[in-house]
Structure 1
Amino acid sequence: MTRTSVDSPSALQTQDSTLSMRIARSLWADSSTATGLQDFHRWFTRYRDSDSSSVRRIDFDALTGWRFETATGNIVHDSGGFFSVRGLDVRAGQGLSQHRWSQPIISQPEIGVLGILVKEFDGVLHCLMQAKMEPGNCNGVQLSPTVQATRSNYTGVHGGKSVPYLKYFREAPPQHVITDVLQSEQGSWFYRKRNRNIIVEVSEDIEVLEGFYWLSVSQLHDLLSIDDLVNMDARTVLSCLPLSSTGLFAAHPFEGDEFRSALVRSLSADQGSLSTSRQIQHWITGARVSSEMDAKPTGLAGIEGWHRSADRISHEAGLFFDVMAVDVRAGSREVRSWTQPMIEARNLGVAAFLTQRIEGVLHVLANIKAEPGFLDVVEVAPTLQCTPQDYQGMPPDARPPFLDELLQASEDSIRFDTVLSEEGGRFFHTRNRYLVVEADPDRAITAPDDFCWLTVHQLADLIQHSHLVNIQARSLTACLHSLTLRPMGK
């Protein structure tokens, strides 16, 4: 999208300003964060070290409760619940530029619940988080929302224990709900997958069960800088916090730190933006109307370019991802043992935002990206979202825009750089490098039409609506929020 003059704040602002100010005060509260995190790390290390879970790779014929359908070759569960692994035929583009491919994809039509309980202690909002083992986690236990459950989980299809704290989200009074929105997950690996992202505030005393811990909003965001600690489900719910607000910068100017000040200006809805809300809506709607991607479910057995061995389904080029299977022995889950198929990425991915201060307001360069599993075909994505190894040896015009610039960014331009795990319930040891890079404010950046400069408050406003911002961009939004915690270089 072509740059225009700085305009008025986004008309998509929907959250209550008082609530946003409470969240901001909690995020920037100058309390004993360091001491509190020392206590947390001791607790988390003890819990992780005491976890007796084990996960091992198995052949497909060792799966129990799962089978390959005779007619389609799809991997399905005997109960008809949970999820299935199917095939997908995809056509993108038209005429001579048309590109077609087939791939496996996870079909999980049921809507799960990702919920965080929050409560105010001494004037500061805290989040009740869970140390949760997932079979795909590279390090076993990571920090997850209060509730992270599929419909099959919380309706008892697995035959295990009930999901703790679920009632607070299923029976929440409307006046206690901070955010409640359906969000997509990876559109390249899930077919039309959605989860309910919900945050509920409580005032009554809550029994803290084993494996759960209260963290302040500030502490939780601070932990995002640690590799593979805060899981994907926690990050997406955190990104839904209605943090942006009119008057935010006036209340918290953070003078003396130019980047932090520009970031808070970007969160403040009265500091102007390069694009108006109408332009952003036009950009997204136009991309959806003009999208030339068509995806049709098909049998897994018939997809082209993929082959099945005893223990995996792989692409013939040795790229992208595999479908594999695991046997799980879990000491701290609702069910103590099971087997399941999973997706395993071949290489480390990258999700990155290029940012720039424009008239003192930090903007992020967002991409509008089509993925075959999205319900509405396209969603707002990071500047860069790919697996770099998939593009090795390709000519420059075949590589994603800004790939080389972001991967070769100088150390002094990198504002956030952490490797974080993707959803450990479906993806095995699958990780992305989450990166925020700041460009020189005086540099002229030319971007293709499928890119648009957004302020962080505009991005946050879009996240308050379903199916507009993808999971990688939501994770990066939570990471951007975390950069307001401390002066740069500290």
Structure 2
Amino acid sequence: MVAPSRVPARSAAEARVVTSLLSRHGVLGGLDAVHSWLADAARGRWMETTRIPLDELAGWHRDEDTGYLWHETGRFFSVESVNVELGGGAVSRWCQPIINQPEIGILGILVREFDGVLHFLMQAKQEPGNPGGAVQLSPTVQATRSNYTGVHRGRPIPYLEHFRDPVSRAIVDIRQSEQGAWFYRKRNRNMVVEAGAEVEAAEGFCWLTLGQIAAVLEIPDLVNMDTRTVLACLPGGGAAFARAVPQHPVDGFAGALARSGDPTSPAVHTTDEVLSWITAARTRTELRVASRPLRQLPGWREADGAISHHSGRFFSVVGVQVRAEGREVGDWSQPMIEPAGPGIIAFVLKRIRGVLHVLVHARSEPGYADVVELAPTVQCAPGNYEVLPEEARPRYLDTVLSPAARVRFDTVLSEEGGRFLEARNRYLVVEADVEVADDDPEYRWLTLAQFDDLLRHSFYVNIQARTLVLCLRGLAARQ
């Protein structure tokens, strides 16, 4: 028997997603009601994160031989270290600490229709690393395997049962990577699952349209990283996106954006050519990552209860004590990664034959599962380049910071607050007139429709680029 085509089902899902994306009024009300709910949720939460020395972390131990940090249960995650060799890189060899979390967690969002519009069940949640301890808009379920199997001996996780056996109700169900510079081959199951009418929003949860989420995405530090990665994996819209996006602005940007989402629009490279380019990059890149002891790690020092780079740049491994109300567990300690400063993460856009294209970078990081993933045009912490060779400076960093660039999106967003302490990046989407050779080994122009194709699969688009894809789609709701 021939399996039925999935194309009509995907087209229907795309149309529903686009309708929700363009809806800024939902079952809760308008955007004012969303802000009121978030403010109320913040008043009902309390969390205190205090720095403590690594050797005072309760329940954590240092391996006598390697110096690795691991939890007494043998679960959750460990802090280890690696030696990295990257052939052809401006910096070809270095050592660093890295988080090893082999468990595959669940990042899941429930959806339900209200008055014919998809709504997403979002949670107001704090994480110990959130800037200022802020409440953020988080997925319905955001849990490691250790959490959802009860290793932490905390309260049960609400709505978890909808993601343990989603059967055919899943709109999105795919494994995706996380930060390859700080995690060793970390993957999470990104899920969007349709719920029945019997599912209600519990305290601390709220049904929002995708358009409402896109609107608050422009507010600094409000939408957490896990929400961003899950929503970026939604069917992007296809022809439905192209038809529905308003195209009236005088500068023509919205029309170019709409055409970029249409799979029938002309692209600089076919998707097959893009896939071949990624495969070639993975094949030629010589990346060797080997474990090595964390104690006396070359280039790093242990002082004041933390592990830091001798230059004071890059990041540190620190310890924190956390006390909280409204969490499955109310008191715990853990190590965290603390970056030395904020980063710049940017897409450069260009209209080519009337279609908006995004310039992506084939990037290698030590923690990637498959050597290379597609990254933003620029992904860096500018302060680090004071101690790196000039040739390591990102090619388009000056372009995205230039006054001549047309800024389409600009806000500061924080990264995963469960493992990273106040890690913040400035996310930018800018139009600029740059020239790139068709056979450039590191960069290619992609349309939004091509991102939609790639995001149906694991490990093609990195987590920073997934956030920017969501920001770019959200611009359609702004028009």
SS of equivalent residue, structure 1 residue 190: coil
1:401 matched to which residue of 2?
A: 395
Q: 1:188 aligns with which of 181, 184, 189?
A: 181
Deviation at 1:61, TM superposition (A): 2.4
Q: 2:444 aligns with which of 449, 452, 475?
A: 452
Give the distance between the partners of 1:15 and 1:408, measured in 2 at CA: 43
2:257 matched to which residue of 1?
A: 263
1:205 matched to which residue of 2?
A: 198
Does the CA contact (< 8 Å) of 1:409 and 1:437 recur in 2?
Answer: no
- 2:461 aligned with 1:469, yes or no? yes
Alignment of 1:20-169 (within 5 A): 20-29=14-23, 31=25, 36-93=30-87, 99-140=92-133, 141-169=135-163
Give the distance between the partners of 1:33 and 1:406, measured in 2 at CA: 38
Deviation at 1:32, TM superposition (A): 6.7
Deviation at 1:164, TM superposition (A): 0.7
Give the distance between the partners of 1:134 and 1:77, measured in 2 at CA: 19
Does the CA contact (< 8 Å) of 1:415 and 1:435 recur in 2?
Answer: yes
2:355 matched to which residue of 1?
A: 361
1:6 matched to which residue of 2?
A: none
Q: For 1:322-366, what per-residue CA distance to the aligned partner results, in whole angstroms no more than 9, with x for missing partners?
A: 000100001011000000000000010111000011111100000
SS of equivalent residue, structure 2 residue 65: coil
Change in CA separation of 1:130 and 1:32 when aligned onto 2, cut-off 3 Å: closer
Change in CA separation of 1:36 and 1:250 when aligned onto 2, cut-off 3 Å: closer
Does the CA contact (< 8 Å) of 2:91 and 2:392 recur in 1?
Answer: no
Does the CA contact (< 8 Å) of 1:139 and 1:228 recur in 2?
Answer: no
Aligned residue identity for 1:279? E
1:309 matched to which residue of 2?
A: 303
Does the CA contact (< 8 Å) of 2:26 and 2:209 recur in 1?
Answer: no
Change in CA separation of 1:325 and 1:98 when aligned onto 2, cut-off 3 Å: closer
Deviation at 1:59, TM superposition (A): 1.1
Change in CA separation of 1:408 and 1:22 when aligned onto 2, cut-off 3 Å: same
Aligned residue identity for 1:166? L
Deviation at 1:445, TM superposition (A): 4.4
Deviation at 1:173, TM superposition (A): 2.4
Give the distance between the partners of 1:324 and 1:154, measured in 2 at CA: 25
Aligned residue identity for 1:160? G
Change in CA separation of 1:30 and 1:86 when aligned onto 2, cut-off 3 Å: closer
Per mean C-alpha deviation after superposition, the further-off stretch among 271-280 and 420-429 is 271-280
Aligned residue identity for 1:122? D
Give the distance between the partners of 1:76 and 1:409, measured in 2 at CA: 47
Change in CA separation of 1:262 and 1:15 when aligned onto 2, cut-off 3 Å: farther
Deviation at 1:246, TM superposition (A): 3.3
Q: For 1:352-381, what per-residue CA distance to the aligned partner results, in whole angstroms no more than 9, with x for missing partners?
A: 000011111100000000000011011000
Structure 2 portions without partners, runs of 5+ = 1-5
Give the distance between the partners of 1:81 and 1:394, measured in 2 at CA: 36
Give the distance between the partners of 1:456 and 1:323, measured in 2 at CA: 37
- 2:370 aligned with 1:376, yes or no? yes
Q: For 1:367-423, what per-residue CA distance to the aligned partner results, in whole angstroms no more than 9, with x for missing partners?
A: 000000011011000000000111137675331110111122447x00000100000
Q: 1:219 aligns with which of 207, 212, 216?
A: 212
Give the distance between the partners of 1:427 and 1:14, measured in 2 at CA: 41
Give the distance between the partners of 1:26 and 1:52, measured in 2 at CA: 32
Does the CA contact (< 8 Å) of 2:410 and 2:429 recur in 1?
Answer: yes
Sequence identity (%): 49
Aligned residue identity for 2:77? F
Change in CA separation of 1:164 and 1:149 when aligned onto 2, cut-off 3 Å: same
SS of equivalent residue, structure 1 residue 91: strand
Q: 1:349 aligns with which of 319, 335, 343?
A: 343
Aligned residue identity for 1:268? D
Does the CA contact (< 8 Å) of 1:21 and 1:243 recur in 2?
Answer: no
Alignment of 1:167-178 (within 5 A): 167-174=161-168, 176-178=169-171
Give the distance between the partners of 2:334 and 2:388, measured in 1 at CA: 36
Deviation at 1:34, TM superposition (A): 11
SS of equivalent residue, structure 2 residue 449: helix
Q: For 1:416-456, what per-residue CA distance to the aligned partner results, in whole angstroms no more than 9, with x for missing partners?
A: 0010000000000001110000124xx64458421000001
Deviation at 1:139, TM superposition (A): 3.0
Give the distance between the partners of 1:452 and 1:104, measured in 2 at CA: 31
Does the CA contact (< 8 Å) of 1:247 and 1:269 recur in 2?
Answer: no
Does the CA contact (< 8 Å) of 1:33 and 1:219 recur in 2?
Answer: no
Change in CA separation of 1:251 and 1:224 when aligned onto 2, cut-off 3 Å: closer
Does the CA contact (< 8 Å) of 2:109 and 2:192 recur in 1?
Answer: yes
Aligned residue identity for 1:172? P
Deviation at 1:204, TM superposition (A): 2.1
Give the distance between the partners of 2:345 and 2:180, measured in 1 at CA: 14
Give the distance between the partners of 2:87 and 2:63, measured in 1 at CA: 32
Aligned residue identity for 2:173? D
Report the TM-score, using the length of structure 1 for normalisation: 0.92
Give the distance between the partners of 1:152 and 1:213, measured in 2 at CA: 26
Give the distance between the partners of 1:14 and 1:332, measured in 2 at CA: 42
Q: 2:420 aligns with which of 419, 422, 427?
A: 427
Report the TM-score, using the length of structure 2 for normalisation: 0.94
Q: 2:334 aligns with which of 309, 315, 340?
A: 340
Give the distance between the partners of 1:60 and 1:32, measured in 2 at CA: 46
Aligned residue identity for 2:129? G
Aligned residue identity for 1:426? R
Change in CA separation of 1:394 and 1:305 when aligned onto 2, cut-off 3 Å: closer
